[in-house]
Amino acid sequence: MTKLNCFLVLINLLQLISFNIFLQNFHIKLIVMSANASPPIPSSNKNICVPGDRLCLAGNQCHAAEGTYIFNGYIYASRVGRVSTFQKNEQTFVKVTGLSGHSVIPEVGSLVTARVLTIHSQMIKVAILAVDDVTLHTAFRGMVRKVNVREHLVDKVEMYECFRPDDIILARILSLGDARSYEMSTSLPELGVVTARCEEGHLMVPVSWTSMKCHCRTENRKVAKVVPPNT
């Protein structure tokens, strides 16, 4: 084999190695792009979602519209309904349209009735039973943080002095929170505990805006100043 032929073989070998390296890098880039890709944008009205479902990445290519909200760079559903997209000013928007005939769901600003489930030092967790005057078929999860219990002396709030498990409370929805749990407030005077029982199970009645009592004991609560109708 002449020196020229050896040189040509070497050139071809180097080109083949370079091409293989290119293919490997290209394949790696495809894998990274696939891993970072957002969930597919729904395009059919048959897509049903519930509050808290992650729909897609928020950004220049996709924007939140009716029935959605943005959290940590993603678009989430804020209601039960069908997911769809539409174009406006050459941009794509995602929306969730409520289902006709479906039971009402809590929204920001809604007045809700809830049952206290568990009490922690910084919050209580509740099950939302009704929105305004409508009883829910399925309870939603919610929470009241310590800073949203009352309007004054927030730093001195003791959660166990304001609520007990199984108390029935009135609250306002502040936001959708996280993990499909609504964030609520009882800070206004008309919000707080409306029905409670003592440790022995006796029904209690308010004696002040900070306590309730039965025939055997008095316990602390954040009592709601319930206004009778037609007053």
Going 218 to 219 to 220 to 222, the CA torsion angle's sign is negative
Q: Please report, for the chain, how many H helices and E strands are present, in that order.
A: 1, 16
Q: Name the strands in the sheet holding 68-71, side by side, starting at the edge strand that comes first in the sequence.
A: 54-57, 74-77, 68-71
What is the model's pTM? 0.56
Straight-line distance from the first to the last Cα atom of the chain, in angstroms, rounded to the nearest whole number: 109
Domains in the chain, start-ordered, CATH in brackets? 47-98 (2.40.50.100), 111-220 (2.40.50.140)
- Cα separation, 126 vs 91, in Å, equals 39
| Cα 106 from Cα 143, distance rounded (Å) | 13
Question: CA torsion 90→96→99→105, rounded to 10°?
Answer: -150
Mean per-residue pLDDT, 77-81: 71
User: pLDDT tens-digit profile of 145-161?
Assistant: 999 998 888 888 899 99
- For residue range 95-125, what is the model confidence (pLDDT) as tens digits? 887 665 446 778 889 999 999 999 999 999 9
DSSP 54-95: EEEE-BTTBEE-TTEEEETTEEEE-SSEEEEEEEETTEEEEE
